[in-house]
Structure 1
Amino acid sequence: MRPGTLGRLALAGTRTDTVRVVLTALSAALATLAGLAALTVLAIPTPPATDDNGVRWSQQYSEALLREPGLRGGTAFALLLLALPVLALAGQCARLGAPARDRRLAALRLAGATPGQVTRLAALETGVASLLGTVVGLVVFLGAHELLDRPDADGRLALPTDVLPSPVALAATVLGLPAVAAAATALLLRRVVTTPFGVVRRARRDRPPRPWFALLVPAGVGAFAGYGPLLRWLERHEVQAPLPYLPILVTAGGLAALVGTVLAAGWFSYAAGRLLHRLARGPAALLAARRLTADPWAGSRTFAALLAAVLFGGGAAAHRAYFQARYDAELAEARSFGDLTSAGDTFYLDTIGLVDLAVAVAVTIAAGGLLVALVEGIVARRRAYAALVAQGVPRGVLGRSVAWQALAPTVPAVLLALTVGLLLGRFLAGPVSTSTVDGAKRFVMPGVPLEQLALVGAGAVAAVALTVAVGLLFLRASTTVEELRAT
């Protein structure tokens, strides 16, 4: 198949395919903006020391997050955090209109296309849409870079508009995201065979989920729990640890905890379906029970970005409690030494406020992905829903079953993500060290930030509930009698 023909077929389709391409491109553009912003922060040059204290701050910026070199890594990490739910949203958008696309690919197989050509076509479709989005994101980034380059009265910049990432970094971001998206599509299709009669999946989907998260989550939490004692042991014995070991320990532990939490959503879906099937008496809960047990891994796919945002929110709440306890301890220490005018430094508390804002944005973006997945599921099963309505099942029952299906695994998964995030943040921050009047060291353990955790958890559940309410607006249009004739 010639490249030109392959490109035309990748861009062909119905209005649903056009919507999928637009949403995928929009998601790729948002991810590009987040990635380029993080690269710009990392590209800020560190000036040489200007005094005997070795201070190497970039004084041309008004924000301390950009002035201090030690804070730029955390700022870039927070920006990359916003890219995770955006990429998950792109994955959900790529599934929009999947049944119609499967029929189109089957028609190509019937016309003589090979399975490899069909797989390359599906991968190219996602790659082209992502490339369109990354190019748009690059143009918007460069335009905003010029428009926001406005120094204040002191000549300082609020944003790093005086620097740009290297051309290699720009090209890697713009071209790397579409390449990763296309490769991920081809990888996900490795167990899918497109035949002239439809799409056949070789994966076994009738096996119930195993509770593998019971191994991954404690392993990740244990890695964080050992970080503080290991660091103190190295300091006590004056041993210089090889540079990458501790970051690798934290990164591996965080990924293990995150993957375990996401896998837990699939197990929670299956367990909730079994429980509803055993205890429920209403038709809505029974319908939801069958759907949850039939495809429990839909929860892991759908709630992955939301659970990641909630886990980071729990970690941010733990760090807020740590910085609040440290602020209170420093204030009490200053008062004990007779300094009644000290008000303490609220810089770190203000910085955690920015992290909380990033978590809120991530939850909002993840809710958009949930909405796309919910609407796609309703449209994909419209013939079954229309048949139930034609047989006398009220639409309200179907709406309540969709709500049960979304909320039943959400609540325990969110509670687990909050708990894991709190433990990771608590072990990483450690206790607060203070000095008494006689010079002795005293360690204070921060309290549990119940209010902050409740705010993050309730916000996540409310986002899911709002998503369900909006998605149900498509239920009436998808349950008309005419849908029984849909192919």
Structure 2
Amino acid sequence: MRPAVLLRLALAGNRTDSARVVLTALSAALATLAGLAALTVLAIPTPRCCDGRNISEQYGNALLREPGLRGGTAIALLLLTVPVLALAGQCARLGAPARDRRLAALRLAGATPGQVTRLAVLETGLASLLGTLLGLAVFLVGRRLLDAPDARGRLALPTDVLPATGVIVAVVLGLPLAAALVGAVLLRRVTATPFGVVRKVRRERAPGPWAGLLIVAGLAAFAALDPVLDWYQDQHREPPLLLPPLLLLGGGLAALTGVVVGTGWLSYTSGRLLHRYARRPAALLASRRLTSDPWAGSRTFAALLAAVIVGGGAAGMRASFEAHAELERLTGQDRGGSDGFYLRTVDLVDLAVGVAMAIAAGGLIVALVEGIVARRRAYAALVATGVPRGTLARSIAWQALAPAVPAVGLALTVGLLLSRGVAGHAVTGGGYSTEFCDGAASLCADPATRAQYLRTGWVPEVTVTPGVPLGQLALVGGGALVAVLVTVAVGLLFLRASTALEELRTA
């Protein structure tokens, strides 16, 4: 098949195919914007002044001025790409039954299985490339429009720097290439025949709880960070430069993978419990669906669970900063409100988590609607046999909430434990004598009057243990479950059209 013909067939299709391409391109554009923004923050040069100051004074935001805080800001921006990429994966499944019939028609016309696979991969890659080019254009135009210094000549955003050209090209071309490779991997067990699309292998065994080993490994990597660094310090040696980021990145990915994969086991277990103890038709229908396809929860909730893990970790970090602030208050120290600044930094992470949940909710809507449309003939057959549509609606709600509730609880717990591994230790201060000034601030600041108000006192030793941020955890978990409920409500709007009796005659 010539490249021109392959390109023309990849761009062909009905309105559903066009919607799939547009949504995939939009997701790729959002991921490109988040990635380029993070790389721009990392590209800010750090000046070296004669007085030892290395602060970029041209920015009005301390997150951009302080070199030590730019890494956290970039990570917060990169977190937004996780749900966006998951949304792109959900959008790629939109209209899958119609696309499967189109691929079957091409096989009937003489196309080989390899050609059909390349066609499906090229469609995803082209849509992603269109999105990355759009994201790059929006980034460059927005950079010009937002380049407005304030009255003091300071910039609100780093519009005066750009990532290296090679880095930009790598992002713009790397995302479509990665999307195409992922599509090829997902299609490795799928064969397009003239009679439809079938899978070569099906999962016969029930999922096991082995994903818990990944969670334990991730938690162990975070907990081992401080002991490993202390060991190097005791040995008077410098640890390898890549050791801390490898422990954190590897542990985080292992814990995230464990939670997402473990959702399959939670779905299967929830289905078995519903089948054993439920008495209502809706719950029984949901139990069969959960046990027959337990991995649907892992695919559907992956982006949402990633955001929940980050939200739980941010709640743990907030509790640690609050413990430091309490220790300063009890010991009478004043560090210029540094902990308040770090708390405001955690607010930025919380904002990123909220945006990530909103994006993940979009992916949930796409997945839920696609599932309803894909099973429309089965639902129509149930309606034709007398099952009320309300019962089907409640069964769909059971399918979403039964695995979501324990999965969100698990993700919150894992996120909190990850943060405790690096910043959850009790902090101790005091146990020394110091000078106190009992006069007014103006008198204490004046060297001529300060001496007569000074006294020496003993600061008792105080230990403050970070508490469990139940309120923050409840806010993150409640927000995730509300997002699931909203997506279920939106998806049920398509239920009546998908359960029309005419669907029984759909070819």
Query: Normalization by structure 2: what TM-score?
Result: 0.93
How many angstroms does 1:342 deviate by? 7.4
- Report Cα offsets for 1:29-67 as digits up to 9, x if no partner: 10000001001101111111341xx32111000111101
Distance 1:352 1:96 in 2: 36
SS in 2 for 1:199: strand
Instruction: Report the counterpart of residue 506 of structure 2 in structure 1.
Output: 486
Aligned equivalent of 1:394, options 365, 385, 388: 388
Give distance in 1, aligned partners of 2:250 and 2:338.
Answer: 35
Question: In terms of Rg, which structure is larger?
Answer: 2
**CA distance change for structure 1 residues 188 and 382 in 2, over 3 Å: closer, same or farther?**
same
Q: What is the one-letter code of the residue matched to 1:481?
A: L
| 2:40 counterpart of 1:40 | yes
Following TM superposition, by how much is the alpha carbon of 1:331 offset from its aligned partner in structure 2, in angstroms?
2.2
5 Å-filtered alignment, 1:292-303, equals 292-303=290-301
Structure 1 unaligned blocks of 5 or more: none
Q: Does residue 5 in structure 1 map to residue 17 in structure 2?
A: no
> Which residue in the other structure is 2:25 paired with?
25
Alpha-carbon distance between aligned partners in 2 of 1:258 and 1:384, rounded to the nearest angstrom: 34
How far residue 167 of structure 1 moved from its aligned partner, in angstroms, is: 1.2
1:344 Cα shift?
6.3
Q: Post-superposition shift, 1:387? A: 1.1
Which letter does structure 2 place at the counterpart of 1:387?
Answer: A
CA distance in 1, matches of 2:253, 2:336: 41
AA at the equivalent of 1:415:
G
State whether residues 331 and 342 of structure 1, in contact with CA within 8 Å, keep that contact through their aligned partners in structure 2: no
Q: Which residue of 2 aligns with 1:325?
A: 323
Separation in 2, partners of 1:76, 1:168: 19
Please report how far the alpha carbon of residue 379 of structure 1 lies from its aligned counterpart in structure 2 after TM superposition: 0.5
Aligned 8 A contact 2:143 2:159 in 1: yes
Given residue 26 of structure 1, which amino acid in structure 2 is its aligned partner? Answer: L
**Cα drift, residue 345 of structure 1:** 4.4
- Distance in 2 (alpha carbons) for counterparts of 1:443 and 1:111: 76
Shift of 1:422: 0.2
Residue aligning to 1:14: 14
How far 1:486 sits from its partner (Å)?
A: 1.3
One-letter amino acid matched to 1:32: T
SS at match of 2:115: helix
Q: Cα deviation per residue 1:377-415 (whole Å; 9 max; x = unaligned)?
A: 000011111111111111000000000000000000000
> Deviation at 1:194?
1.1
Q: Are residue 119 (structure 1) and residue 117 (structure 2) matched?
A: yes
Q: Does 1:417 align with 2:437?
A: no
Give the match for residue 225 of structure 2.
Answer: 227
Q: Specify whether residues 67 and 432 from structure 1 end up closer, same or farther in structure 2 by C-alpha distance, changes over 3 A only.
A: farther
CA distance in 2, matches of 1:275, 1:292: 10
SS in 2 for 1:190: coil
CA positional deviation for 1:441: 6.8
Alpha-carbon displacement from aligned partner over 1:104-129 (angstroms, at most 9, x marks no partner): 11111111111111111000000011
What code does the residue aligned with 2:177 have? A
Query: Structure 2 unaligned runs (5+)?
Result: 434-459
Give the secondary-structure state (helix, strand or coil) at the position aligned to 1:235.
helix
Q: Output one character per residue of 1:5-28: Cα deviation in whole Å (capped at 9) or x when no partner.
A: 111110111111111111101100
Instruction: Report the residue type matching 1:31 in the other structure.
Output: A
Give a deviation string over 1:404-433, Cα, whole Å, max 9, x none.
000000000000000000000011114253
Partner of 1:378: 372
User: Which residue of the partner structure matches residue 69 of structure 1?
Assistant: 67
1:44-92 deviation digits (Å, cap 9, x = unpaired):
11111341xx321110001111011111111111100000000000000
CA contact (8 A) 2:322 2:339 kept: no
Secondary structure of the residue aligned to 1:193 is: strand
Match of 1:146 in 2: 144
Q: For 2:237, which of 220, 236, 239 is the aligned residue?
A: 239
1:168 aligned counterpart, secondary structure: helix
Displacement, 1:332? 2.0
Determine the structure 2 residue equivalent to 1:130: 128
Tell me what 1:453 maps to: 473
2:80 and 2:250 mapped to 1: Cα distance?
20
Q: Could you tell which deviates more after superposition, 423-432 or 268-277?
A: 423-432
| Paired residues for 1:438-477 under 5 Å | 438=432, 443-477=463-497
CA distance in 2: counterparts of 1:20 and 1:344, whole angstroms: 47
- Mark the CA change 1:103 to 1:343 in structure 2 (over 3 Å): closer, same or farther: closer
Deviation of 1:443 after TM superposition, in Å, equals: 4.6
How far did 1:226 drift? 1.3
Is 1:349 matched with 2:343? yes
Q: Distance in 2 between matches of 1:236 and 1:156?
A: 44
Q: Which amino acid letter does the alignment assign opposite residue 224 of structure 1?
A: F
Give the Cα–Cα distance (whole angstroms) in 2 for the partners of residues 331 and 344 of structure 1.
13
1:259-274 equivalence runs, <5 A? 259-274=257-272
Q: CA deviation at 1:442?
A: 5.4
- Per-residue deviation, residues 203-262 of structure 1 (Å, max 9, x unmatched): 222321121212111111111111122222322332211111222112111111110000
The yes-or-no answer on 1:306 pairing with 2:304 is yes
The answer as to whether partners of 1:331 and 1:343 remain within 8 angstroms in 2 is: no
SS in 2 for 1:17: helix
- Secondary structure at the aligned position of 1:163 is classed as coil
Aligned to 1:197: 195
Equivalent residues of 1:206, 1:294 under 8 A apart:
no
- Structure-1 residue corresponding to 2:439: none
What SS does the aligned partner of 2:332 have? helix
Aligned residues: 481
Contact 2:211 2:261 in 1 (8 A): yes
Q: Give the equivalent residue in structure 1 for 2:82.
A: 84
CA contact 2:330–2:462 (8 Å) conserved in 1: no
User: Over residues 155-183 of structure 1, what are the superposed CA-to-partner deviations in whole Å (9 max), with x where a residue is unaligned?
Assistant: 00010000111111111111110010011
| Separation in structure 1 between the aligned mates of residue 269 and residue 181 of structure 2, nearest angstrom | 33
Contact 2:223–2:422, Cα closer than 8 Å, also in 1: yes
Q: For 2:247 and 2:338, how far apart are their aligned partners in 1? A: 33
Which of 242, 249, 253 matches 1:251? Answer: 249
Matches of 1:83 and 1:14, distance apart in 2: 29
Q: Distance in 1 between matches of 2:424 and 2:225?
A: 9
Mapped to 2, the partners of 1:247 and 1:137 lie a distance apart of 29
Assess if the C-alpha contact under 8 Å between 2:431 and 2:461 holds in 1.
no
Corresponding position of 1:168: 166
Q: Distance in 2 between matches of 1:344 and 1:229?
A: 26
Q: CA deviation at 1:482?
A: 1.3
Structure-2 change in CA distance of 1:224 and 1:232 (3 Å): same
The letter of the residue matching 2:486 is L
Q: Secondary structure at the match of 1:346?
A: helix
Name the CA distance, whole Å, in 2 between partners of 1:289 and 1:346.
48
Instruction: Give the CA deviation at 1:135.
Output: 0.8
